Each structure stands twice: as structure tokens, then as C-alpha cells.
């Protein structure tokens, strides 16, 4: 039976694998209605199986070592603690990736870029999330847990992800405003007053000191 350190590491690895598999399942449901997806979605999806396999390799090694050793050494415990930490980080990024895939891939009549921008928020581009996932797994992919060939595949995948064009424009704000009606949409994100007049009557803007007399425009000796 695995010791406490190995158990924590295995739980974290299995959690990350499960989240990645769920993300891949969402992508597998892709249909022609989602053909406008940014290319980064497709490239990120290609890498998910590699990450899953690597985590599986680490999982298998930990299970095998746990069967062969009666007690965890201090070195084992330190290694398992680091594995659990990185696997949890990987799982968190994968969960965010799954959320974005789930909101963007299934068509709902809204433009893909609009759904993506809303789901991604700040710093949530899919290629950036996969970059973080790969960096976490590369940090885990050390001998004896993972062989050099598999580690090299991860580094090559990271290089390809880093070379992708941004899937959303750089420096895009986190605000998304949609107006699907016939009326005006007035947005004010700065400071100071915003004066809006959508009717036929005149609008007087400014800060006034009483008395203020208005003549004409249908007003007669009106004092403010």
C-alpha cells in the first residue's frame, strides 16, 4: 500500500489526468459549427494526450516503487510532495482550460470570439494555459520517473505552443459589452461625468449656480 506521500502524489496526478481527459472529451465533440475556433484550440488539444501519458508514466512509477519499498524515505517524501504540488497546479490550469473549452466550443448562436473573450478573461488564452501545464509537467518529468525521450517530447511541444500566434488580441481589456437591442448603449469606464441625451429636448451640461433662467425651448421664466 502506498505511503502517505505517495498517496498524496497519486491523488493529485489522477485529478489532473481526469480534468485533462474531460477537456479532451469536450474537444472531441467539435463539429462544423465550431470551425471558426482559433488555431490555438486545435494545437492545444493535440498536446493533451501527451501530457496525460506523461502523468500516467509518473503514476505507474510511484505505484511500482511503493510496492517495492516498505517505508518512504525522506528523499521519497520530498519528491512526492513536489510532485503533488506541481500536479495540483497542472490540474488547476487544466480545469480553467476545460471551462473555456466548454463555453467556447459548443455553438450557441454567439460569435466564437465573443464567447472566447468572455470565458478567457484576463490571462486566460488557451495557449498560455497549456504553456503553464507543460512547464509543470516538464518539471515533473525527471528520471527516474520519466525517461529522457518523453521529456524531450514535452519540451518540443512547449516550443510549438510558445510559437503560436495569440488566440486573442494582446492587451485586450477584460470588459465585454454586447448590445442586441435597438436602443443606445452608453458605456463609461473612466472618471468624471457622463451626460447622455437620447430625447428631442436640448441638454444643458455643466455645473450651475442658482439662479439659472431658461427662456425659449418651451420654458418660460424657469428658475433653477
Helix-, strand-, coil-residue percentages of the chain, each rounded to 5: 55, 5, 40
Query: What's the pTM value of the predicted model, to 2 decimals?
Result: 0.75
**Residue 102: per-residue pLDDT:** 94
**Residue 109: per-residue pLDDT:** 84
The candidate with the shortest Cα–Cα distance to 14, out of 105, 22, 101, 32, is: 22
Q: Does the residue 215 lie in any domain?
A: no
The candidate with the shortest Cα–Cα distance to 176, out of 193, 189, 167, 195, is: 189
Q: Does the residue 93 lie in any domain?
A: yes
Q: Does the residue 155 lie in any domain?
A: yes
Q: Does the residue 201 lie in any domain?
A: no
**Residue 70: per-residue pLDDT:** 81
Q: What is the domain range of residue 38?
A: 4-162
**Residue 157: per-residue pLDDT:** 98
Q: What are 25's three cell numbers?
A: 472529451
Q: What is the CATH number of the domain that holds 19?
A: 1.20.1410
Q: Does the residue 84 lie in any domain?
A: yes
CB 202 within 8 Å of CB 171: no
Helix and strand tally (H, E) in the chain?
A: 6, 2
Q: Does the residue 203 lie in any domain?
A: no
CA distance 38 to 16: 24
CB 45 within 8 Å of CB 27: yes
Q: Does the residue 136 lie in any domain?
A: yes
Q: How are beta strands 219-223 and 213-216 bridged, if at all?
A: antiparallel
CB 25 within 8 Å of CB 94: no
Q: What's the total number of domains in the chain? A: 1
One digit per residue, the tens of pLDDT, for the chain of length 224 reads 789 999 999 999 999 999 999 999 999 988 665 668 999 999 999 999 999 999 999 999 999 999 998 899 999 999 999 999 999 999 999 999 999 999 998 888 889 999 999 999 887 899 999 999 999 999 999 999 999 999 999 999 999 999 999 999 875 444 555 565 566 666 655 555 666 767 666 666 666 565 655 555 444 444 44
C-alpha to C-alpha distances, 160 to 1, 122, 205, 220, 221, nearest whole angstrom: 40, 22, 56, 73, 74
Q: Does the residue 214 lie in any domain?
A: no
Amino acid at each position: 500500500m502506498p505511503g502517505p506521500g505517495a498517496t498524496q502524489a497519486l491523488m493529485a496526478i489522477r485529478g489532473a489526468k481526469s480534468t485533462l481527459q474531460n477537456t479532451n472529451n469536450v474537444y472531441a465533440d467539435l463539429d462544423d459549427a465550431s470551425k471558426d475556433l482559433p488555431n490555438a484550440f486545435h494545437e492545444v488539444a493535440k498536446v493533451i494526450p501527451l501530457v496525460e501519458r506523461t502523468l500516467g508514466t509518473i503514476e505507474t512509477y510511484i505505484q511500482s516503487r511503493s510496492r517495492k519499498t516498505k517505508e518512504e524515505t525522506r528523499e521519497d517524501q520530498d519528491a512526492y510532495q513536489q510532485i503533488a504540488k506541481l500536479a495540483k497546479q497542472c490540474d488547476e490550469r487544466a480545469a480553467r482550460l476545460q471551462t473555456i473549452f466548454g463555453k467556447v466550443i459548443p455553438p450557441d448562436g454567439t460569435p466564437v470570439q465573443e464567447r472566447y473573450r468572455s470565458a478567457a478573461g484576463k490571462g486566460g488564452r488557451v495557449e498560455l494555459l497549456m504553456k503553464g501545464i507543460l512547464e509543470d509537467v516538464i518539471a515533473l518529468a525527471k528520471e527516474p520517473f520519466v525517461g529522457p525521450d518523453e521529456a524531450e517530447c514535452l519540451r518540443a511541444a512547449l516550443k510549438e505552443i510558445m510559437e503560436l500566434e495569440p488566440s486573442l488580441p494582446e492587451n485586450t481589456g477584460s470588459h465585454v459589452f454586447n448590445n442586441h437591442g435597438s436602443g443606445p448603449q452608453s458605456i463609461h469606464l473612466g472618471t468624471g461625468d457622463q451626460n447622455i441625451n437620447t430625447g428631442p429636448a436640448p441638454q444643458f451640461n455643466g455645473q450651475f449656480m442658482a439662479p439659472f433662467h431658461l427662456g425659449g425651448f418651451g420654458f418660460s421664466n424657469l428658475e433653477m
